[in-house]
Amino acid sequence: MGDAVELEAGGRTVRLSSPDKIFFPERGFTKLDLARYYQAVAPGILRALRDRPTTLERYPDGVTGENFFQKRAPKNMPDWIPTAHITFPSGRSADEMCPTEEAAVLWAAQYGTLTFHPWPVRRDDVDRPDELRIDLDPQPGTDYDDAVRAAHELRSVLEEFGGLRGWPKTSGGRGLHVFVPIEPRWTFTQVRRAAIAIGREMERRMPDRVTIKWWKEERGERIFIDYNQTARDRTIASAYSVRPRPHAPVSAPLRWEEVGQAHPQDFDLATMPARFAELGDVHADMDDHAFSLDALLELARRDEHDHGLGDLPYPPEYPKMPGEPKRVQPSRAAAKKAPPTAP
C-alpha cells in the first residue's frame, strides 16, 4: 500500500495512510488520487460544505468494497473540526461534523469518504434551511436529456415565483440538482411545502415529462421531482463530491449555458481538476444571495385552497406528519377496496 504520506492543507498536516490503495479499479485511481482531487477543488467543495452538518459516505476499501453512511462524528475526529447537534425525524439526535477548512475534507478522505452529504442548514441554526434543493431524478425510460428539459423549465418557474435563481449541477449520475440559496426564515416543513409547489407547477407545464408522484408505479417515463429531498435529514451529494461508481464521476457545478451542452460523463476525478484550475468554482457567488420563499408558499396556499392539493406522503421511515395523506401504495389501496370475487 506504500508508506504513509503527509498532505499540507491550510497550515495543518493530514496523514494519509496506504496512499497506493486502489479505490477505483476500473480507472486505477488510488486513495492518494482521491485526496489530491479534493486538494485541487478545495475552495469549491469547502464552499459547498462550510459550517454544514455533514454525513460521510465511506468506502474504506474503495468503491468495490463495503460502504456505510457515517452520520455521527467519528470518535477519532480531530478537535479542530467543529460539530453541530442535529435531531433526526425519529427524535434521536447526534453530533455531526461541520467542515470549516480544507484539512477537514482531506481528513475525511483519509477514512475513505467519497461523497459528502451536507444538510441544507448551517451549524448556527440547524432547524432553518438556507438552501432549497430541487432533485430532478430520471425514471426508467428517461435520461439526462429529459432532466435538462425539465431544468430549463424549472429555471423559468423559479424566476416567475419570487425572482428566484437556481444554481445547477450534475448529480454524478443521470440527474440534475438545482440549489436555491434562501433566507433561513422557514422550517423544514415549509421549505418542503415550497418544493411541492414547484413540483405541481412543473407538472402543470410539462404533464408528459415531469411528475411529483411519490409512488413509483404512478410515475411513468417522466422526470421525478423528489420533493422529499427537502425533508429533515434527507441530503443531496455536495458539489464536487466524488460518486461511488466505477468511472469515478463527480457532481459538477454548471453554469446555466452549459446545461444541455455538458454531460455527466464529462466530469470525473481526472477531468474536474483541470476545469477547476481554468474556471474556478462556477458557483462561488451562491453565498452572496438569499431569496424569499414567500411567492412559492403563496402558490402552495392557493393550490390547497383552490384545488384541494394538500400535503404529499413522507418517506416510510418518517413518523406520521400532520395533514399527511395515507401512506398506502395506490395499487394496494385499490385492491383493498375491490369487492370480493364470486366463488
pLDDT recorded at residue 337 = 65
Output the pLDDT for position 334: 66
Beta bridge partners of 242: 250
- For residue 340, the model assigns a pLDDT of 59
Which residue, 198, 147, 149, 192, is CA-closest to 171? 147
| pTM assigned to the model | 0.95
Phi-psi category of residue 4: left, alpha or beta, with phi > 0 → left and psi -120 to 50 → alpha:
beta
pLDDT, average across residues 27-55:
98
Q: pLDDT digits over 77-99, tens only? A: 999 999 999 999 999 999 999 99
Lateral strand order in the sheet of 223-225: 167-170, 176-181, 131-138, 223-225, 210-211
How do residues 218-248 score in pLDDT, each as one tens digit?
A: 999 999 999 999 999 999 999 999 999 999 9
Average pLDDT, the chain: 95
pLDDT of residue 339: 62
pLDDT in tens, 138-169: 999 999 999 999 999 999 999 999 999 999 99
Percent of the chain having pLDDT more than 90?
A: 92
Tens of pLDDT along 254-267? Answer: 999 999 999 999 99
Question: Does the structure show a pLDDT above 90 at 58?
Answer: yes
Region of residue 31 (phi > 0: left; psi between -120 and 50: alpha; otherwise: beta): alpha
Given the DSSP bridges, would you call strands 210-211 and 223-225 parallel, antiparallel or unpaired? parallel
pLDDT tens column, 297-341: 999 999 999 999 999 999 999 999 988 998 988 887 766 665 655
For residue range 86-138, list pLDDT tens digits in order: 999 999 999 999 999 999 999 999 999 999 999 999 999 999 999 999 999 99
Tell whether the model's pLDDT for residue 72 goes beyond 70: yes
